[in-house]
Amino acid sequence: MNQPLVVFDNVVKHFGNYLAVERMNLEIHKGEFVAIMGSSGCGKTTTLRMLAGLDKPSEGEIRLNGERINDLYSWQRDTPLVWQNLALFPFLNVQENVEFGLRMRGMAKAARRTKSLEWLERLGLQEFASRDISMLSGGQRQRVALARSLVTEPPILLLDEPLSALDAHLSVRMQGVLTGLQKDLGITFVYVTHSQSEAFAMADRVVIMSKGRVEQTGSPREIFLEPHNRFVAEFVGGKNILSATVVGQEDSGLVRLAAQHGEFLARPAGGGAVAIGDQVSVCISAEQIELTLHATAGHSLACRVVGEEFVGSMVNLYLESSEGLELQVQKPYADYIGLNLLAGQMIFARWADAHALILRGDRLSAVAS
């Protein structure tokens, strides 16, 4: 693979005694759409601000195109940032807002007018060129902010929760605009969000952060299907997490576990290793649990239906076993109707061995002899 466009090399950021980012090592390549995701206070916006030149790392090095940029001011980098509040200039009209970066670079008036109008047309805003910012809708202001950042044709664009203030339907439309622009232009996007749906819909790669640390990096599919630890599994949601003890190893590579409801098989996440006696956390996705009205051969768990929740075309079912184990199961509405379930009814839950995932970083080693 070619040299990364951006490198975070052992980057640490302190604010007084508060550790905002802890030993970040991250590479971002040209043309990637990378989403940094996590709850409030996880360090994602601080990471973006350090890349933009608004905060300086306390330790470590940030490189852009192989050049150390720690000590460069924000205006010395070609890393425009689209803010959460957009930060458009209310005293300038639409075209003047888009021209602003070109004017700061000393481009001649006629040239910057031509270029700004090209970008307004590209984003469907040409008819609003002379309109005041206050007269635009939220989606229109969003596109003006994008045009203002992209008119200089930077190699990378930073976006800090730019869709958070939009209505749900408009947010979905803007996701399409963003991904289309990114693919057409080949520009690297680094996108900070707390919204899993945004990150998974748009990004090539997702970075999950917690308490200043990178917990996992991977494609949306990898993050959802192969969470490495309990934090990531709980953060993406829709997961059942069971506690169990390792009691054996199978030739197939599967691990035999003993839990409150009996023995079952699972596989270690990311090819990790476990030892007999280890206490582990096991993740099973809600959509990978099968339901039958009668017991079947193999591992099958008798449960009582304790609740249900309609989520559009999907239904979340909440079950409880006689041992007190609680399970969440997600089914398409058509499958749910076919089961004809009633509250309090007994049903049997089962899952494939390969769908039970032993999480990394959650193992408690057996007591040493």
* CATH number of the domain within which 214 lies: 3.40.50.300
In the block, tokens 């800090």 appear at: 160
109 and 210 both lie in a single domain:
yes
Report yes or no on 233 lying in a domain: no
66 and 97 both lie in a single domain:
yes
Structure tokens at 250: 């199978």
pLDDT in tens, 132-187: 998 988 888 888 988 888 888 899 999 998 887 677 777 888 888 889 889 988 99
* pLDDT above 90 as % of the chain: 55
Structure tokens at 215: 């917990």
Report yes or no on 39 lying in a domain: yes
360 and 346 both lie in a single domain:
no
Three-class DSSP labels, the chain: CCCCCEEEEEEEEEECCEEEEEEEEEEECCCCEEEEECCCCCCHHHHHHHHHCCCCCCEEEEEECCEECCCCCHHHCCCCEECCCCCCCCCCEHHHHHHHHHHHCCCCHHHHHHHHHHHHHHCCCHHHCCCEHHHCCHHHHHHHHHHHHHCCCCCEEEEECCCCCCCHHHHHHHHHHHHHHHHHHCCEEEEEECCHHHHHHHCCEEEEEECCEEEEEECHHHHHHCCCCHHHHHHHCCEEEEEEEEEEECCCCCEEEEECCEEEEEEEHHHCCCCCCCEEEEEEEHHHCEEECCCCCCCCEEEEEEEEEEECCEEEEEEEECCCCEEEEEEEHHHHHHHCCCCCCEEEEECCHHHCEECCCCCECCCCC
Report yes or no on 1 lying in a domain: no
What confidence score (pLDDT) does residue 271 get? 64
What confidence score (pLDDT) does residue 362 get? 53
Does residue 368 register a pLDDT over 60? Answer: no
303 and 177 both lie in a single domain:
no
* 78 neighbors 156 (Cβ within 8 angstroms): yes
- Count the residues in the chain: 369
What's the whole-number average pLDDT of the chain?
89
254 and 334 both lie in a single domain:
no
185 and 221 both lie in a single domain:
yes
110-114: average pLDDT = 91
What confidence score (pLDDT) does residue 369 get? 25
In the block, tokens 């748009």 appear at: 202
> Residue 366: which pLDDT band, with cuts at 50, 70 and 90?
very low
Integer Cα distance of 360 and 297 in angstroms: 30
Integer Cα distance of 356 and 128 in angstroms: 54
- Characterize the bridge pairing of strands 6-15 and 18-28: antiparallel
183 and 109 both lie in a single domain:
yes
* 343 neighbors 323 (Cβ within 8 angstroms): no
Q: What is the count of structural domains for the chain?
A: 3
Amino acid at 255: V
β-partners of residue 331 are 315
360 and 341 both lie in a single domain:
no
Give Cα 112 distance to the centre of its chain. Answer: 36
25 and 129 both lie in a single domain:
yes
> Residue 246: which pLDDT band, with cuts at 50, 70 and 90?
very high
Report yes or no on 23 lying in a domain: yes
What confidence score (pLDDT) does residue 28 get? 97
Report yes or no on 152 lying in a domain: yes
Check which CATH number belongs to the domain holding 294 and give it: 2.40.50.100
Q: Which of 237-241, 294-298, 308-312 has the lowest mean pLDDT?
A: 294-298
Check which CATH number belongs to the domain holding 360 and give it: 2.40.50.140
In the block, tokens 């249900």 appear at: 308
β-partners of residue 138 are none
CB atoms within 10 A of CB 9: 16
Of the ranges 78-82, 124-128, 139-143, 348-352, the best mean pLDDT one? 348-352
131 and 152 both lie in a single domain:
yes
What confidence score (pLDDT) does residue 9 get? 97
What confidence score (pLDDT) does residue 365 get? 36
Report yes or no on 50 lying in a domain: yes
β-partners of residue 10 are none
pLDDT in tens, 178-218: 898 899 889 999 999 988 989 999 999 999 999 999 999 99
Integer Cα distance of 221 and 65 in angstroms: 28
94 and 24 both lie in a single domain:
yes
349-358: average pLDDT = 92
Report yes or no on 270 lying in a domain: yes
pLDDT in tens, 41-81: 999 999 999 999 999 999 999 999 999 999 999 888 889 88
| Helices 94-104/138-150 angle, 10° precision | 20
Integer Cα distance of 53 and 171 in angstroms: 28
166 and 134 both lie in a single domain:
yes
Domain, as residue range, for 123: 6-225
* pLDDT above 70 as % of the chain: 96
CA angle 243, 256, 253 (to 5 degrees): 120
Report yes or no on 334 lying in a domain: yes
Structure tokens at 119: 């970008």
What confidence score (pLDDT) does residue 140 get? 86
> Residue 3: which pLDDT band, with cuts at 50, 70 and 90?
confident
Integer Cα distance of 212 and 322 in angstroms: 40
> Residue 223: which pLDDT band, with cuts at 50, 70 and 90?
very high
Residue where one domain finishes, among candidates 225, 248, 277: 225
Does residue 266 register a pLDDT over 60? Answer: yes
